Amino acid sequence: MISTLNHFPYRPIWQRLGAYCRQFLLGFWLVLFGLSTPDAFAATLVIVNKSGDNVALVNPSTYDVIDRVPTGHAPHEVTVSRNEQRAFVGNYGSGSNPGHSLSVIDLETREERRIALPGLYRPHGIVTRKGKVYFTVEGSRAIASFDPEKERVDWVMGTGQSVTHMLTLTPDARKIYTANIGSDTVTSIELGDTPGQADVRQISTGEGPEGMDLSPNGRELWVAHRADGRLSIIDTGNDRIQETINVGQMPIRVRFTPDGTHVLISDARTNELIVVEAKDREVIKRIDIGAFPVGILIPPEGNRAFVAATGADKVVVIDLGQLKVKTSFSPGDEPDGMAWLERDIRQ
């Protein structure tokens, strides 16, 4: 359902804690009697389906689709609030129909609230930090911040670059990096203490920078160049490229493992997941995924990865201990961006 009037219901903390306790106890007894696996009632996988115009909610133990919630047209990326009550989706649009809205989804009621973005076109990369939602608007060569409590965009800053597609933030939300595919640059924006104050730098990379991720210690930013098959490693202390390595043909997304030892890179031309040893910068494995792998998600426990094979309408599950395909499942049409909830939203 789409709700345009009602605000999301507030649940007192004792109710939320009570729900979590019930989930824990239920999971404990099921595991004790051999009826389920330990994480069966502990998490939910949120997956954007680009051609389906929806978000799929998936049980990450059985890989069953719990529900699908409608979004705007052609959503690409998703993030969730820190309290895991809401999901935020950028409705990118397609062709001559550029999107200009965010979908805010109440994960309890499965209702969507559509937020118009006048003058801000093609929202794409999206993350949450310190209660705010930061996202790129590549059609407007800018990034923006959305305040979920006030339900309005409270900050916009231009990058001056073409196709500002993905973004990532440092944990303290003081520094923002964007990948600008059309300008062959990464923009570094260090925010000041005064609203509107920022130190902006443009970092020249290889051709078509798109996917990127910060190392767990925050010292390195790895940026994949989709047009030349290489990857730049940027020192976040001085915003200079310290090394460039060859990884594939069309590397398009990048994700560090939680322990920082390995980096996973999806290659949309070779249809592979490339595994790189972070310390030595060496490719140690190439895993066949299927048509056009893009989005990558690694849950906090770090023992598996989910890779969206967009062209095959499936998500492939990788065993990170053995570095091989474990299974796959179909969440909908053209899955792409993903997010993780540390709770089972069925309760």
> Has residue 18 been placed in a domain?
no
Number of domains in the chain: 1
Tell me the pLDDT of the chain averaged across its residues. 90
> Has residue 214 been placed in a domain?
yes
Label residue 199 by pLDDT band (50, 70, 90): very high
- Residue-wise pLDDT for 250-300, tens only, equals 999 999 999 999 999 999 999 999 999 999 999 999 999 999 999 999 999
> Has residue 236 been placed in a domain?
yes
User: Do 71 and 55 form a contact (C-beta atoms < 8 A)?
Assistant: yes
Give the percent of the chain with pLDDT over 70.
88
> Has residue 157 been placed in a domain?
yes
> Has residue 95 been placed in a domain?
yes
Rounded CA-CA distance 244/232 in Å is: 4
Whether the per-residue pLDDT at 69 is higher than 50: the answer is yes
> Has residue 27 been placed in a domain?
no
What are residue 116's DSSP bridge partners?
A: 101
CA 284 distance to own-chain centroid: 24
Whether the per-residue pLDDT at 195 is higher than 80: the answer is no
Whether the per-residue pLDDT at 72 is higher than 70: the answer is yes
Q: Does the pTM of the predicted model rise above 0.85?
A: yes
- Residue-wise pLDDT for 91-124, tens only, equals 999 988 999 999 999 999 999 999 999 999 999 9
Rounded CA-CA distance 171/282 in Å is: 27
* Dihedral, 97, 102, 103, 105 alpha carbons, nearest 10: 170
Phi then psi for residue 304, to 5 deg, are -155, 165
- Residue-wise pLDDT for 300-323, tens only, equals 999 999 999 999 999 999 999 999
**CATH number assigned to the domain comprising residue 309:** 2.130.10.10
- pLDDT score recorded for residue 8: 32
Instruction: Please provide the distance, in angstroms rounded to a whole number, between the alpha carbons at the two ends of the chain.
Output: 19
What are residue 27's DSSP bridge partners?
A: none
User: Do 124 and 138 form a contact (C-beta atoms < 8 A)?
Assistant: yes
> Has residue 213 been placed in a domain?
yes
Measured from the Cβ of residue 330, the count of other Cβ atoms closer than 10 Å reads: 15
CA 134 distance to own-chain centroid: 12
Rounded CA-CA distance 308/311 in Å is: 9
Rounded CA-CA distance 149/35 in Å is: 41
Domain of residue 305 covers 43-341
> Has residue 6 been placed in a domain?
no
What are residue 134's DSSP bridge partners?
A: 127, 145
User: Do 44 and 341 form a contact (C-beta atoms < 8 A)?
Assistant: yes
